[in-house]
């Protein structure tokens, strides 16, 4: 039924809707690209956003350690082996606290990463489904359609994995900075092909 159907065969209202969606998708991709460039520190802020967040987290941990040390100067922890004596908090105790703080920070960062990856999965998944569905009905060859769809789908999967592990290992960071821009470029090209197909004569 849809073997020979093309986007330029839609009624005027349908072509208007598809055209507006394609343009909106291109604007979204431009905004996402700008956000990525700012996050990488290439434009805008001199310090990347991720590094700024890490700096704030480290400052909070240091402030908490200083608060504990200040409390220790006023109040000492009881030594339960001798009810009549009190034992001050030692540097070893501070090291133990730092280890716990780092462990908590790891899981907090991992949770933020997975949340961020889920948001990207939803955004990329929506664009992939919507643009892909329109792209299928353009006039390009079946081979190019399969190439774009398979390549985009695989890159989205790798990007989600990378964002889940970003900041913990360099392969994850590489996946994000490698896959993300290519995905946006592929989406942008697909949107242009959709708009071009709308203007073709039947």
Distance in angstroms (rounded) separating the CA atoms of residues 44 and 53: 16
Nearest Cα residue to 159 out of 43, 57, 36, 46? 36
Greater confidence, 95 or 19?
19
Report the predicted TM-score, pTM, of the whole model to 2 decimal places: 0.68
**Residue 124: pLDDT above 60?**
yes
Distance in angstroms (rounded) separating the CA atoms of residues 24 and 94: 53
Give the pLDDT confidence of 26-83 residue by residue, as tens digits: 999 999 888 888 877 777 654 455 555 555 566 666 777 677 666 655 555 555 555 5
Domain boundaries, the chain: 10-199
Query: Other CB atoms closer than 10 Å to residue 62's CB: what's the count?
Result: 12
Q: What are the two backbone dihedrals, phi and then psi, of residue 8, each rounded to the nearest 5 degrees?
A: -70, -5
């Amino acid at each position: 039924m849809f073997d020979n159907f093309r986007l330029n065969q839609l009624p005027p209202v349908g072509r208007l809707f598809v055209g507006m969606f394609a343009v909106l998708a291109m604007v979204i991709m431009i905004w996402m690209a700008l956000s990525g460039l700012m996050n990488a520190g290439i434009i805008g802020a001199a310090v990347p956003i991720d590094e700024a967040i890490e700096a704030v987290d480290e400052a909070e941990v240091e402030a908490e350690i200083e608060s504990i040390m200040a409390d220790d100067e006023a109040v000492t922890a009881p030594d339960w082996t001798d009810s009549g004596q009190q034992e001050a908090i030692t540097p070893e105790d501070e090291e133990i606290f730092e280890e716990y703080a780092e462990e908590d920070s790891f899981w907090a960062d991992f949770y933020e990463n997975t949340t961020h990856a889920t948001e990207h999965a939803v955004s990329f998944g929506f664009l992939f489904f919507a643009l892909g569905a329109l792209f299928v009905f353009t006039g390009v060859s079946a081979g190019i359609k399969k190439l774009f769809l398979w390549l985009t789908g695989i890159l989205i999967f790798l990007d989600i994995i990378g964002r889940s592990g970003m900041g913990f290992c360099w392969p994850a960071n590489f996946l994000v900075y490698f896959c993300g821009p290519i995905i946006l470029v592929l989406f942008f090209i697909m949107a242009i092909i959709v708009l071009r197909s709308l203007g073709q004569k039947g």
